[in-house]
Protein backbone atom coordinates (compact mmCIF):
# COMPACT_ATOMS: atom_id res chain seq x y z
CA UNK A 1 0.00 0.00 0.00
CA UNK A 2 1.26 3.50 -0.87
CA UNK A 3 0.03 6.95 0.02
CA UNK A 4 0.73 8.20 -3.54
CA UNK A 5 -0.38 6.42 -6.70
CA UNK A 6 1.01 6.92 -10.18
CA UNK A 7 -1.88 8.16 -12.31
CA UNK A 8 -0.10 8.63 -15.63
CA UNK A 9 1.85 11.27 -17.53
CA UNK A 10 1.11 14.94 -18.16
CA UNK A 11 0.16 15.78 -21.73
CA UNK A 12 2.88 17.73 -23.51
CA UNK A 13 5.66 17.34 -20.94
CA UNK A 14 5.51 13.61 -20.25
CA UNK A 15 6.05 14.25 -16.52
CA UNK A 16 4.62 11.59 -14.15
CA UNK A 17 1.45 12.62 -12.28
CA UNK A 18 0.60 11.16 -8.87
CA UNK A 19 -2.62 11.24 -6.85
CA UNK A 20 -2.85 10.88 -3.06
CA UNK A 21 -4.80 7.89 -1.75
CA UNK A 22 -8.23 9.40 -1.02
CA UNK A 23 -11.85 9.34 -2.11
CA UNK A 24 -12.12 9.86 -5.86
CA UNK A 25 -14.74 10.81 -8.47
CA UNK A 26 -14.35 10.03 -12.16
CA UNK A 27 -16.62 11.29 -14.95
CA UNK A 28 -16.82 10.68 -18.67
CA UNK A 29 -18.71 9.05 -21.50
CA UNK A 30 -19.01 5.26 -21.26
CA UNK A 31 -16.53 3.32 -23.47
CA UNK A 32 -15.10 6.55 -24.93
CA UNK A 33 -13.28 8.08 -21.98
CA UNK A 34 -11.49 5.10 -20.39
CA UNK A 35 -12.95 5.31 -16.88
CA UNK A 36 -12.79 1.57 -16.11
CA UNK A 37 -9.18 1.33 -17.34
CA UNK A 38 -8.27 4.28 -15.11
CA UNK A 39 -9.90 2.74 -12.01
CA UNK A 40 -8.17 -0.61 -12.63
CA UNK A 41 -4.79 1.13 -12.95
CA UNK A 42 -5.22 3.09 -9.70
CA UNK A 43 -6.35 0.00 -7.76
CA UNK A 44 -3.52 -2.12 -9.13
CA UNK A 45 -0.85 0.42 -8.16
CA UNK A 46 -2.44 1.23 -4.76
CA UNK A 47 -1.80 -2.25 -3.34
CA UNK A 48 -5.34 -2.31 -1.88
CA UNK A 49 -8.18 -4.73 -2.41
CA UNK A 50 -11.16 -3.34 -4.27
CA UNK A 51 -14.73 -4.39 -4.96
CA UNK A 52 -16.55 -3.32 -8.13
CA UNK A 53 -19.90 -4.17 -9.71
CA UNK A 54 -21.08 -5.00 -13.22
CA UNK A 55 -24.59 -3.53 -13.49
CA UNK A 56 -25.25 -3.68 -17.25
CA UNK A 57 -25.13 -6.56 -19.70
CA UNK A 58 -22.22 -6.29 -22.12
CA UNK A 59 -20.49 -3.68 -19.96
CA UNK A 60 -16.77 -3.41 -20.69
CA UNK A 61 -15.05 -4.61 -17.55
CA UNK A 62 -11.64 -4.92 -16.02
CA UNK A 63 -8.90 -6.86 -17.79
CA UNK A 64 -7.87 -8.81 -14.67
CA UNK A 65 -10.22 -9.55 -11.77
CA UNK A 66 -11.69 -12.10 -9.36
CA UNK A 67 -15.37 -12.99 -9.60
CA UNK A 68 -17.15 -12.72 -6.24
CA UNK A 69 -20.53 -14.19 -5.26
CA UNK A 70 -23.02 -11.36 -4.64
CA UNK A 71 -23.48 -10.57 -0.94
CA UNK A 72 -26.79 -9.59 0.61
CA UNK A 73 -27.86 -9.15 4.24
CA UNK A 74 -31.56 -8.63 5.06
CA UNK A 75 -32.45 -5.31 6.66
CA UNK A 76 -35.71 -3.86 7.92
CA UNK A 77 -34.98 -0.29 9.09
CA UNK A 78 -37.48 2.15 7.63
CA UNK A 79 -34.88 4.49 6.08
CA UNK A 80 -33.46 1.56 4.10
CA UNK A 81 -36.93 0.49 2.92
CA UNK A 82 -37.83 4.08 2.02
CA UNK A 83 -34.75 4.22 -0.20
CA UNK A 84 -35.79 0.97 -1.87
CA UNK A 85 -39.30 2.32 -2.54
CA UNK A 86 -37.70 5.48 -3.98
CA UNK A 87 -35.93 3.27 -6.50
CA UNK A 88 -39.20 1.48 -7.37
CA UNK A 89 -41.12 4.76 -7.68
CA UNK A 90 -38.38 6.65 -9.48
CA UNK A 91 -39.22 9.63 -7.28
CA UNK A 92 -39.12 10.79 -3.68
CA UNK A 93 -41.37 9.00 -1.16
CA UNK A 94 -42.36 12.40 0.21
CA UNK A 95 -44.29 12.99 -3.01
CA UNK A 96 -46.40 9.91 -2.23
CA UNK A 97 -48.77 11.05 0.58
CA UNK A 98 -48.78 8.82 3.65
CA UNK A 99 -46.08 6.48 2.30
CA UNK A 100 -43.35 7.40 4.80
CA UNK A 101 -45.74 6.91 7.74
CA UNK A 102 -46.85 3.59 6.27
CA UNK A 103 -43.23 2.45 5.81
CA UNK A 104 -42.33 3.37 9.39
CA UNK A 105 -45.35 1.48 10.72
CA UNK A 106 -44.85 -1.77 8.78
CA UNK A 107 -41.09 -1.82 9.50
CA UNK A 108 -41.53 -1.69 13.27
CA UNK A 109 -40.38 -5.00 14.78
CA UNK A 110 -39.70 -6.73 11.41
CA UNK A 111 -36.53 -8.60 10.49
CA UNK A 112 -36.47 -8.57 6.67
CA UNK A 113 -38.33 -7.48 3.53
CA UNK A 114 -40.48 -10.60 3.48
CA UNK A 115 -41.80 -9.82 6.98
CA UNK A 116 -42.41 -6.22 5.92
CA UNK A 117 -44.35 -7.34 2.85
CA UNK A 118 -46.56 -9.63 4.95
CA UNK A 119 -47.13 -6.79 7.43
CA UNK A 120 -48.14 -4.43 4.60
CA UNK A 121 -50.67 -6.96 3.31
CA UNK A 122 -52.03 -7.45 6.84
CA UNK A 123 -52.35 -3.71 7.48
CA UNK A 124 -54.07 -3.23 4.10
CA UNK A 125 -56.61 -5.90 5.06
CA UNK A 126 -57.27 -4.62 8.58
CA UNK A 127 -57.19 -0.82 8.21
CA UNK A 128 -60.57 0.88 7.88
CA UNK A 129 -59.26 4.11 6.31
CA UNK A 130 -59.38 3.88 2.52
CA UNK A 131 -56.46 6.32 2.17
CA UNK A 132 -54.07 4.25 4.29
CA UNK A 133 -55.42 1.03 2.76
CA UNK A 134 -54.23 2.32 -0.65
CA UNK A 135 -50.81 3.22 0.83
CA UNK A 136 -50.29 -0.26 2.30
CA UNK A 137 -51.46 -1.94 -0.90
CA UNK A 138 -48.95 0.08 -2.96
CA UNK A 139 -46.14 -0.73 -0.53
CA UNK A 140 -47.04 -4.44 -0.64
CA UNK A 141 -47.06 -4.29 -4.45
CA UNK A 142 -43.58 -2.70 -4.56
CA UNK A 143 -42.15 -5.33 -2.22
CA UNK A 144 -43.91 -8.10 -4.14
CA UNK A 145 -41.57 -7.23 -7.01
CA UNK A 146 -38.38 -7.31 -4.91
CA UNK A 147 -38.95 -10.27 -2.55
CA UNK A 148 -39.44 -12.97 -5.23
CA UNK A 149 -36.44 -11.52 -7.09
CA UNK A 150 -34.26 -12.07 -4.02
CA UNK A 151 -35.39 -15.71 -3.90
CA UNK A 152 -34.06 -16.25 -7.44
CA UNK A 153 -30.44 -15.65 -6.45
CA UNK A 154 -27.91 -17.40 -4.24
CA UNK A 155 -26.10 -14.92 -2.00
CA UNK A 156 -22.94 -15.27 0.05
CA UNK A 157 -23.25 -14.80 3.82
CA UNK A 158 -19.74 -13.37 4.05
CA UNK A 159 -17.66 -11.10 1.81
CA UNK A 160 -14.22 -12.52 0.97
CA UNK A 161 -11.96 -10.36 -1.23
CA UNK A 162 -8.75 -11.40 -3.00
CA UNK A 163 -5.88 -9.02 -3.77
CA UNK A 164 -6.55 -6.60 -6.61
CA UNK A 165 -9.92 -6.06 -8.26
CA UNK A 166 -12.91 -8.17 -7.15
CA UNK A 167 -16.08 -7.98 -9.23
CA UNK A 168 -19.71 -8.81 -8.45
CA UNK A 169 -21.80 -9.39 -11.55
CA UNK A 170 -25.33 -8.11 -10.78
CA UNK A 171 -26.25 -7.33 -14.38
CA UNK A 172 -29.02 -9.96 -14.45
CA UNK A 173 -30.82 -8.49 -11.42
CA UNK A 174 -33.53 -5.87 -11.31
CA UNK A 175 -32.45 -2.36 -10.39
CA UNK A 176 -33.99 -2.65 -6.90
CA UNK A 177 -32.10 -5.90 -6.22
CA UNK A 178 -28.85 -4.37 -7.51
CA UNK A 179 -29.26 -1.56 -4.98
CA UNK A 180 -29.81 -4.07 -2.17
CA UNK A 181 -26.66 -6.04 -3.06
CA UNK A 182 -24.45 -2.95 -3.49
CA UNK A 183 -25.75 -1.42 -0.25
CA UNK A 184 -25.18 -4.68 1.69
CA UNK A 185 -21.62 -4.92 0.30
CA UNK A 186 -20.76 -1.33 1.28
CA UNK A 187 -22.22 -1.87 4.74
CA UNK A 188 -20.21 -5.10 5.22
CA UNK A 189 -16.97 -3.44 4.04
CA UNK A 190 -17.50 -0.54 6.45
CA UNK A 191 -18.29 -2.80 9.42
CA UNK A 192 -15.79 -5.67 8.89
CA UNK A 193 -13.01 -4.71 6.41
CA UNK A 194 -10.20 -2.17 6.26
CA UNK A 195 -7.91 -0.86 3.50
CA UNK A 196 -10.54 -1.59 0.86
CA UNK A 197 -11.70 0.49 -2.10
CA UNK A 198 -15.38 0.35 -3.00
CA UNK A 199 -16.25 1.43 -6.55
CA UNK A 200 -19.79 2.75 -6.98
CA UNK A 201 -20.95 2.20 -10.57
CA UNK A 202 -23.46 4.52 -12.23
CA UNK A 203 -23.28 6.87 -9.26
CA UNK A 204 -25.90 9.15 -10.84
CA UNK A 205 -28.36 6.24 -10.45
CA UNK A 206 -27.31 4.70 -7.11
CA UNK A 207 -26.49 8.00 -5.32
CA UNK A 208 -28.95 10.36 -7.03
CA UNK A 209 -29.44 14.03 -6.28
CA UNK A 210 -32.55 14.78 -4.23
CA UNK A 211 -33.81 11.33 -3.15
CA UNK A 212 -32.72 8.53 -0.85
CA UNK A 213 -31.77 5.03 -2.07
CA UNK A 214 -30.40 2.00 -0.18
CA UNK A 215 -26.92 2.66 -1.66
CA UNK A 216 -26.98 6.35 -0.82
CA UNK A 217 -27.98 5.62 2.77
CA UNK A 218 -24.89 3.50 3.49
CA UNK A 219 -22.51 5.31 1.08
CA UNK A 220 -22.84 8.56 3.01
CA UNK A 221 -21.69 6.84 6.19
CA UNK A 222 -18.84 5.02 4.38
CA UNK A 223 -17.43 8.10 2.63
CA UNK A 224 -17.58 10.24 5.79
CA UNK A 225 -15.95 7.76 8.18
CA UNK A 226 -14.21 5.10 6.08
CA UNK A 227 -10.90 6.92 5.42
CA UNK A 228 -10.02 6.68 9.12
CA UNK A 229 -9.50 2.88 8.71
CA UNK A 230 -8.10 2.99 5.18
CA UNK A 231 -11.39 2.46 3.33
CA UNK A 232 -11.98 4.65 0.27
CA UNK A 233 -14.79 5.15 -2.22
CA UNK A 234 -14.37 5.72 -5.96
CA UNK A 235 -17.46 7.21 -7.66
CA UNK A 236 -17.93 6.31 -11.31
CA UNK A 237 -20.52 8.33 -13.26
CA UNK A 238 -21.39 9.50 -16.77
CA UNK A 239 -22.21 12.97 -15.50
CA UNK A 240 -21.89 15.28 -12.51
CA UNK A 241 -25.35 16.84 -12.33
CA UNK A 242 -27.27 13.71 -11.35
CA UNK A 243 -25.08 12.79 -8.32
CA UNK A 244 -25.86 13.82 -4.76
CA UNK A 245 -23.37 16.48 -3.70
CA UNK A 246 -22.82 15.18 -0.16
CA UNK A 247 -20.42 12.37 -1.18
CA UNK A 248 -18.83 14.56 -3.88
CA UNK A 249 -17.78 17.07 -1.21
CA UNK A 250 -15.66 14.33 0.39
CA UNK A 251 -13.73 13.62 -2.85
CA UNK A 252 -10.42 15.50 -3.19
CA UNK A 253 -9.46 13.76 -6.44
CA UNK A 254 -11.57 14.50 -9.54
CA UNK A 255 -10.87 12.96 -12.94
CA UNK A 256 -12.92 14.42 -15.84
CA UNK A 257 -12.85 12.85 -19.28
CA UNK A 258 -14.64 13.20 -22.58
CA UNK A 259 -18.15 14.72 -22.33
CA UNK A 260 -20.47 15.96 -25.09
CA UNK A 261 -23.55 17.41 -23.37
CA UNK A 262 -23.19 21.19 -23.03
CA UNK A 263 -24.47 21.47 -19.44
CA UNK A 264 -22.13 18.71 -18.28
CA UNK A 265 -19.22 20.35 -20.10
CA UNK A 266 -20.01 23.56 -18.26
CA UNK A 267 -20.01 21.71 -14.95
CA UNK A 268 -16.60 20.20 -15.73
CA UNK A 269 -15.15 23.62 -16.61
CA UNK A 270 -16.31 24.95 -13.22
CA UNK A 271 -14.32 22.20 -11.47
CA UNK A 272 -10.99 23.12 -13.15
CA UNK A 273 -10.05 25.69 -10.46
CA UNK A 274 -9.96 28.60 -12.90
CA UNK A 275 -7.98 26.89 -15.68
CA UNK A 276 -9.13 28.23 -19.02
CA UNK A 277 -10.06 25.31 -21.26
CA UNK A 278 -12.21 25.55 -24.39
CA UNK A 279 -15.46 23.58 -24.17
CA UNK A 280 -14.60 21.90 -27.48
CA UNK A 281 -11.53 20.32 -25.90
CA UNK A 282 -13.64 18.61 -23.22
CA UNK A 283 -15.98 17.35 -25.94
CA UNK A 284 -13.09 15.89 -28.00
CA UNK A 285 -10.76 14.43 -25.33
CA UNK A 286 -9.13 11.23 -26.67
CA UNK A 287 -9.41 7.83 -25.01
CA UNK A 288 -7.58 7.72 -21.66
CA UNK A 289 -7.12 11.52 -21.48
CA UNK A 290 -8.48 13.30 -18.38
CA UNK A 291 -8.35 16.63 -16.66
CA UNK A 292 -7.23 15.75 -13.13
CA UNK A 293 -8.18 18.12 -10.28
CA UNK A 294 -5.85 16.82 -7.55
CA UNK A 295 -5.90 18.87 -4.37
CA UNK A 296 -5.17 22.43 -5.52
CA UNK A 297 -3.71 21.51 -8.94
CA UNK A 298 -5.29 20.73 -12.29
CA UNK A 299 -3.39 18.80 -14.97
CA UNK A 300 -4.24 17.21 -18.30
CA UNK A 301 -3.13 13.59 -18.04
CA UNK A 302 -2.92 10.39 -20.04
CA UNK A 303 -3.66 7.58 -17.59
CA UNK A 304 -1.20 4.69 -17.71
CA UNK A 305 -3.15 1.40 -18.05
CA UNK A 306 -2.20 -1.76 -16.14
CA UNK A 307 0.41 -3.82 -17.94
CA UNK A 308 1.64 -0.96 -20.16
CA UNK A 309 5.32 0.03 -19.69
CA UNK A 310 5.86 3.55 -18.40
CA UNK A 311 7.94 4.59 -21.42
CA UNK A 312 5.09 3.54 -23.73
CA UNK A 313 2.61 5.56 -21.67
CA UNK A 314 4.95 8.55 -21.77
CA UNK A 315 5.08 8.28 -25.57
CA UNK A 316 1.28 8.60 -25.69
CA UNK A 317 1.44 11.72 -23.47
CA UNK A 318 4.06 13.17 -25.81
CA UNK A 319 1.92 12.41 -28.85
CA UNK A 320 4.22 9.74 -30.29
CA UNK A 321 1.57 6.97 -30.06
CA UNK A 322 -2.20 6.90 -30.15
CA UNK A 323 -4.21 5.58 -27.17
CA UNK A 324 -6.05 3.21 -29.55
CA UNK A 325 -2.80 1.44 -30.38
CA UNK A 326 -2.18 0.87 -26.67
CA UNK A 327 -5.68 -0.55 -26.28
CA UNK A 328 -5.26 -2.98 -29.17
CA UNK A 329 -1.79 -4.11 -28.13
CA UNK A 330 -2.00 -4.38 -24.35
CA UNK A 331 -5.58 -4.31 -23.11
CA UNK A 332 -7.07 -7.76 -23.65
CA UNK A 333 -9.66 -8.86 -21.02
CA UNK A 334 -8.84 -12.00 -19.09
CA UNK A 335 -10.17 -13.46 -15.89
CA UNK A 336 -7.66 -14.58 -13.30
CA UNK A 337 -7.07 -18.28 -13.62
CA UNK A 338 -6.99 -20.10 -10.34
CA UNK A 339 -5.34 -23.41 -9.72
CA UNK A 340 -7.50 -26.43 -10.63
CA UNK A 341 -7.22 -27.75 -7.09
CA UNK A 342 -8.59 -24.50 -5.68
CA UNK A 343 -11.53 -24.62 -8.11
CA UNK A 344 -12.18 -28.24 -7.20
CA UNK A 345 -12.08 -27.42 -3.50
CA UNK A 346 -14.48 -24.49 -3.97
CA UNK A 347 -16.81 -26.64 -6.05
CA UNK A 348 -16.88 -29.36 -3.41
CA UNK A 349 -17.55 -26.78 -0.69
CA UNK A 350 -20.41 -25.28 -2.67
CA UNK A 351 -21.80 -28.73 -3.46
CA UNK A 352 -21.71 -29.67 0.24
CA UNK A 353 -23.36 -26.37 1.21
CA UNK A 354 -26.07 -26.93 -1.37
CA UNK A 355 -26.70 -30.48 -0.12
CA UNK A 356 -26.87 -29.27 3.50
CA UNK A 357 -29.28 -26.48 2.56
CA UNK A 358 -31.45 -28.88 0.56
CA UNK A 359 -31.54 -31.37 3.45
CA UNK A 360 -32.37 -28.63 5.93
CA UNK A 361 -35.16 -27.22 3.76
CA UNK A 362 -36.58 -30.71 3.18
CA UNK A 363 -36.56 -31.48 6.92
CA UNK A 364 -38.18 -28.16 7.79
CA UNK A 365 -40.84 -28.49 5.10
CA UNK A 366 -41.52 -32.12 6.01
CA UNK A 367 -41.80 -31.34 9.72
CA UNK A 368 -44.07 -28.38 9.07
CA UNK A 369 -46.20 -30.41 6.67
CA UNK A 370 -46.59 -33.32 9.11
CA UNK A 371 -47.39 -30.93 11.92
CA UNK A 372 -50.05 -29.26 9.80
CA UNK A 373 -51.59 -32.60 8.83
CA UNK A 374 -51.72 -33.71 12.48
CA UNK A 375 -53.33 -30.41 13.51
CA UNK A 376 -55.95 -30.73 10.76
CA UNK A 377 -56.60 -34.37 11.70
CA UNK A 378 -57.09 -33.50 15.37
CA UNK A 379 -59.30 -30.57 14.40
CA UNK A 380 -61.46 -32.76 12.14
CA UNK A 381 -61.68 -35.44 14.87
CA UNK A 382 -62.83 -32.88 17.47
CA UNK A 383 -65.40 -31.44 15.09
CA UNK A 384 -66.69 -34.93 14.27
CA UNK A 385 -67.11 -35.77 17.97
CA UNK A 386 -68.87 -32.48 18.53
CA UNK A 387 -71.19 -33.16 15.61
CA UNK A 388 -71.97 -36.65 16.92
CA UNK A 389 -72.85 -35.20 20.32
CA UNK A 390 -75.14 -32.66 18.67
CA UNK A 391 -76.86 -35.37 16.62
CA UNK A 392 -77.28 -37.54 19.73
CA UNK A 393 -78.79 -34.61 21.58
CA UNK A 394 -81.04 -33.65 18.66
CA UNK A 395 -82.34 -37.15 17.81
CA UNK A 396 -82.18 -38.63 21.32
CA UNK A 397 -79.99 -41.52 20.09
CA UNK A 398 -79.51 -42.99 23.55
CA UNK A 399 -83.28 -43.44 24.00
CA UNK A 400 -83.52 -45.10 20.57
CA UNK A 401 -80.68 -47.43 21.48
CA UNK A 402 -82.41 -48.40 24.72
CA UNK A 403 -85.67 -49.03 22.79
CA UNK A 404 -83.84 -51.22 20.26
CA UNK A 405 -82.26 -53.27 23.06
CA UNK A 406 -85.69 -53.65 24.72
CA UNK A 407 -87.32 -54.76 21.42
CA UNK A 408 -84.55 -57.29 20.87
CA UNK A 409 -85.19 -58.72 24.36
CA UNK A 410 -88.96 -58.90 23.70
CA UNK A 411 -88.30 -60.60 20.34
CA UNK A 412 -86.23 -63.27 22.07
CA UNK A 413 -89.03 -63.83 24.62
CA UNK A 414 -91.69 -64.03 21.88
CA UNK A 415 -89.65 -66.52 19.85
CA UNK A 416 -89.30 -68.68 22.97
CA UNK A 417 -93.10 -68.63 23.53
CA UNK A 418 -93.75 -69.53 19.88
CA UNK A 419 -91.34 -72.42 20.18
CA UNK A 420 -93.38 -73.73 23.12
CA UNK A 421 -96.50 -73.77 20.87
CA UNK A 422 -94.85 -75.92 18.18
CA UNK A 423 -96.22 -79.24 19.65
CA UNK A 424 -99.78 -77.81 19.73
CA UNK A 425 -99.51 -76.82 16.08
CA UNK A 426 -98.50 -80.37 15.13
CA UNK A 427 -101.38 -81.80 17.20
CA UNK A 428 -103.82 -79.47 15.48
CA UNK A 429 -102.70 -80.53 12.03
CA UNK A 430 -102.91 -84.26 12.98
CA UNK A 431 -106.40 -83.80 14.47
CA UNK A 432 -107.71 -82.04 11.38
CA UNK A 433 -106.27 -84.74 9.16
CA UNK A 434 -107.79 -87.50 11.27
CA UNK A 435 -111.29 -86.03 11.54
CA UNK A 436 -111.32 -85.00 7.93
CA UNK A 437 -111.51 -88.74 6.89
CA UNK A 438 -114.86 -89.32 8.63
CA UNK A 439 -116.57 -85.98 8.36
CA UNK A 440 -118.48 -85.37 5.08
CA UNK A 441 -117.77 -82.26 3.13
CA UNK A 442 -121.40 -81.18 3.61
CA UNK A 443 -124.03 -82.68 5.95
CA UNK A 444 -127.71 -82.90 5.39
CA UNK A 445 -129.90 -79.85 6.01
CA UNK A 446 -130.29 -79.11 9.65
CA UNK A 447 -127.28 -81.17 10.50
CA UNK A 448 -124.23 -79.27 11.66
CA UNK A 449 -120.96 -80.89 12.39
CA UNK A 450 -119.63 -80.42 15.85
CA UNK A 451 -116.08 -80.75 14.58
CA UNK A 452 -114.42 -77.37 13.96
CA UNK A 453 -112.88 -76.78 10.55
CA UNK A 454 -110.24 -74.48 11.98
CA UNK A 455 -108.80 -73.50 15.34
CA UNK A 456 -108.15 -69.82 16.10
CA UNK A 457 -106.80 -68.06 19.15
CA UNK A 458 -107.99 -64.57 20.09
CA UNK A 459 -106.36 -62.27 22.54
CA UNK A 460 -108.37 -59.63 24.32
CA UNK A 461 -106.82 -56.13 24.28
CA UNK A 462 -107.71 -53.83 27.19
CA UNK A 463 -109.15 -50.41 26.41
CA UNK A 464 -107.20 -47.37 27.68
CA UNK A 465 -108.88 -44.39 29.21
CA UNK A 466 -106.74 -41.24 29.37
CA UNK A 467 -107.43 -38.94 32.24
CA UNK A 468 -105.97 -35.43 31.97
CA UNK A 469 -105.10 -33.64 35.19
CA UNK A 470 -104.21 -29.97 34.99
CA UNK A 471 -102.18 -28.27 37.61
CA UNK A 472 -102.67 -24.53 37.88
CA UNK A 473 -99.53 -22.37 38.16
CA UNK A 474 -99.65 -18.67 38.88
CA UNK A 475 -96.70 -16.78 37.49
CA UNK A 476 -95.71 -13.13 37.94
CA UNK A 477 -93.14 -10.83 36.36
CA UNK A 478 -90.90 -11.40 39.36
CA UNK A 479 -89.65 -14.71 37.92
CA UNK A 480 -88.20 -15.73 34.56
CA UNK A 481 -91.13 -18.16 33.99
CA UNK A 482 -93.59 -15.37 34.68
CA UNK A 483 -91.88 -12.92 32.32
CA UNK A 484 -91.84 -15.46 29.49
CA UNK A 485 -95.49 -16.37 30.22
CA UNK A 486 -96.43 -12.66 30.03
CA UNK A 487 -94.78 -12.06 26.61
CA UNK A 488 -96.34 -15.37 25.47
CA UNK A 489 -99.80 -14.19 26.54
CA UNK A 490 -99.19 -10.80 24.88
CA UNK A 491 -98.32 -12.68 21.64
CA UNK A 492 -94.93 -10.97 21.37
CA UNK A 493 -93.30 -14.19 20.25
CA UNK A 494 -93.43 -15.29 16.57
CA UNK A 495 -96.36 -17.63 15.99
CA UNK A 496 -95.48 -18.94 12.54
CA UNK A 497 -91.72 -19.47 12.70
CA UNK A 498 -88.91 -20.59 14.97
CA UNK A 499 -87.38 -18.07 17.35
CA UNK A 500 -84.26 -17.89 19.55
CA UNK A 501 -83.40 -16.66 23.01
CA UNK A 502 -82.35 -13.37 21.36
CA UNK A 503 -85.98 -12.75 20.35
CA UNK A 504 -87.03 -13.37 23.97
CA UNK A 505 -84.35 -10.97 25.23
CA UNK A 506 -85.62 -8.27 22.84
CA UNK A 507 -89.15 -8.79 24.21
CA UNK A 508 -87.72 -8.46 27.75
CA UNK A 509 -86.03 -5.18 26.77
CA UNK A 510 -89.32 -3.79 25.41
CA UNK A 511 -90.78 -4.34 28.92
CA UNK A 512 -87.75 -2.73 30.56
CA UNK A 513 -86.66 -6.05 32.06
CA UNK A 514 -82.92 -6.84 32.27
CA UNK A 515 -81.29 -9.67 30.32
CA UNK A 516 -81.64 -13.00 32.12
CA UNK A 517 -79.17 -15.90 31.67
CA UNK A 518 -81.92 -18.37 32.67
CA UNK A 519 -84.04 -17.77 29.57
CA UNK A 520 -82.77 -20.92 27.78
CA UNK A 521 -83.40 -23.37 30.63
CA UNK A 522 -86.79 -21.76 31.31
CA UNK A 523 -87.84 -22.15 27.68
CA UNK A 524 -86.83 -25.84 27.89
CA UNK A 525 -88.98 -26.17 30.99
CA UNK A 526 -91.99 -24.64 29.26
CA UNK A 527 -91.40 -27.05 26.34
CA UNK A 528 -91.97 -29.87 28.85
CA UNK A 529 -95.25 -28.12 29.86
CA UNK A 530 -96.41 -28.41 26.23
CA UNK A 531 -96.51 -24.70 25.31
CA UNK A 532 -93.30 -24.65 23.18
CA UNK A 533 -91.31 -27.12 21.08
CA UNK A 534 -87.58 -27.08 20.44
CA UNK A 535 -85.06 -28.11 17.78
CA UNK A 536 -81.45 -27.27 16.82
CA UNK A 537 -80.35 -25.21 13.81
CA UNK A 538 -76.74 -26.38 13.66
CA UNK A 539 -75.46 -25.70 17.17
CA UNK A 540 -78.11 -23.10 18.02
CA UNK A 541 -81.34 -24.12 19.80
CA UNK A 542 -84.55 -22.68 18.34
CA UNK A 543 -88.10 -22.67 19.73
CA UNK A 544 -91.63 -22.52 18.29
CA UNK A 545 -95.13 -22.13 19.72
CA UNK A 546 -96.65 -25.59 20.04
CA UNK A 547 -99.82 -24.11 21.58
CA UNK A 548 -100.79 -20.63 20.47
CA UNK A 549 -102.12 -18.22 23.13
CA UNK A 550 -105.65 -18.13 21.61
CA UNK A 551 -105.81 -21.94 21.62
CA UNK A 552 -104.49 -22.06 25.19
CA UNK A 553 -107.18 -19.61 26.31
CA UNK A 554 -109.93 -21.54 24.55
CA UNK A 555 -108.83 -24.73 26.30
CA UNK A 556 -108.60 -23.01 29.64
CA UNK A 557 -104.81 -23.47 29.81
CA UNK A 558 -104.02 -19.72 29.88
CA UNK A 559 -105.64 -17.16 32.11
CA UNK A 560 -104.61 -13.54 32.72
CA UNK A 561 -105.36 -12.12 36.19
CA UNK A 562 -106.10 -8.45 36.62
CA UNK A 563 -103.48 -6.48 38.62
CA UNK A 564 -106.04 -5.57 41.26
CA UNK A 565 -106.59 -9.22 42.13
CA UNK A 566 -102.95 -9.85 43.05
CA UNK A 567 -100.33 -7.80 44.86
CA UNK A 568 -97.91 -8.12 41.87
CA UNK A 569 -97.80 -5.81 38.86
CA UNK A 570 -98.86 -8.44 36.37
CA UNK A 571 -99.74 -12.12 36.62
CA UNK A 572 -100.53 -15.01 34.29
CA UNK A 573 -102.10 -18.33 35.22
CA UNK A 574 -101.12 -21.47 33.34
CA UNK A 575 -102.89 -24.83 33.55
CA UNK A 576 -100.19 -27.45 33.18
CA UNK A 577 -101.42 -30.73 31.61
CA UNK A 578 -100.56 -33.97 33.39
CA UNK A 579 -101.30 -37.29 31.69
CA UNK A 580 -102.24 -40.61 33.24
CA UNK A 581 -103.65 -43.82 31.81
CA UNK A 582 -106.26 -46.16 33.17
CA UNK A 583 -106.78 -49.68 31.83
Q: What is the 3-state secondary structure (H, E, C) of 312-352?
A: HHHHHHCCCCCHHHHHHHHCCCCCCCCCHHHHHHHHHHHHH
Entry pTM: 0.53
Looking at residue 5, its pLDDT comes to: 93
The rounded distance, in Å, linking the Cα atoms of 233 and 218 is 12
The rounded distance, in Å, linking the Cα atoms of 107 and 118 is 11
Residue ranges, the chain, pLDDT below 50: 334-339, 437-459, 566-568, 577-583
The rounded distance, in Å, linking the Cα atoms of 340 and 346 is 10
Going by C-alpha positions, the residue among 234, 268, 283 that lies closest to residue 46 is: 234
Looking at residue 573, its pLDDT comes to: 61
Q: Decide: helix, strand or coil at residue 292.
A: strand
Which strands, in side-by-side order, build the sheet including 571-582? Answer: 465-476, 571-582, 558-561
Fold of 466-582: Arc Repressor Mutant, subunit A (1.10.10)
**What letter would DSSP give residue 461?**
-
Q: Decide: helix, strand or coil at residue 262.
A: helix
The rounded distance, in Å, linking the Cα atoms of 338 and 328 is 26
Superfamily of domain 4-60+67-72+153-330: P-loop containing nucleotide triphosphate hydrolases (3.40.50.300)
What does the domain layout of the chain look like in residue ranges?
A: 4-60+67-72+153-330, 78-151, 466-582
Q: What is the pLDDT of residues 487-505, one digit of tens each?
A: 999 888 998 889 999 999 9
Residue 543 burial (C-beta neighbours within 10 Å; 0-12, 13-18, 19+): buried
Query: Do 312 and 321 touch, CB atoms closer than 8 A?
Result: yes
Between strands 232-237 and 24-27, the pairing is: parallel
Q: What is the pLDDT of residues 419-474, one digit of tens each?
A: 777 777 777 777 777 766 444 444 444 444 444 444 444 445 555 555 555 667 77
Looking at residue 110, its pLDDT comes to: 86
Between strands 532-537 and 297-303, the pairing is: unpaired
- Cα separations (Å) of 319 from 254, 258, 314, 529? 24, 18, 9, 121
SS3 content of the chain, % helix, strand, coil (to 5): 50, 15, 35
The rounded distance, in Å, linking the Cα atoms of 7 and 45 is 9
Amino acid sequence: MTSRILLGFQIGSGEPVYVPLHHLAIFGMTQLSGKTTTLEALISRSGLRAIAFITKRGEAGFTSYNLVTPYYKPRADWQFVEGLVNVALGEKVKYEPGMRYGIMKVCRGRKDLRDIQKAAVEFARETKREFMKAVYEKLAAYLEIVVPELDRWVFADKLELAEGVNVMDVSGMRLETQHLVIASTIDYAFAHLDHVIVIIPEAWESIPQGKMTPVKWVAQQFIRKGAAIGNYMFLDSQDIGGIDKTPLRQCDNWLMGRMKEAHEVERILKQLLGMKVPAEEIQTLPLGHFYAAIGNDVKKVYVLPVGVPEEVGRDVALGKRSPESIRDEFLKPKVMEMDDLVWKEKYEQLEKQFADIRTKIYSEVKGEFEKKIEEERQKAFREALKKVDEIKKQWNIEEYQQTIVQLKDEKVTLEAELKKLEPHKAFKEALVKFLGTYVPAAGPPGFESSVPSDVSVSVEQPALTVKVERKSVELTDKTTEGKIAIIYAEEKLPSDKWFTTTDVVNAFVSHGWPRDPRIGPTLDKMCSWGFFEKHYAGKRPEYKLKLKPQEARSKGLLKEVEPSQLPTDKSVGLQLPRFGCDA
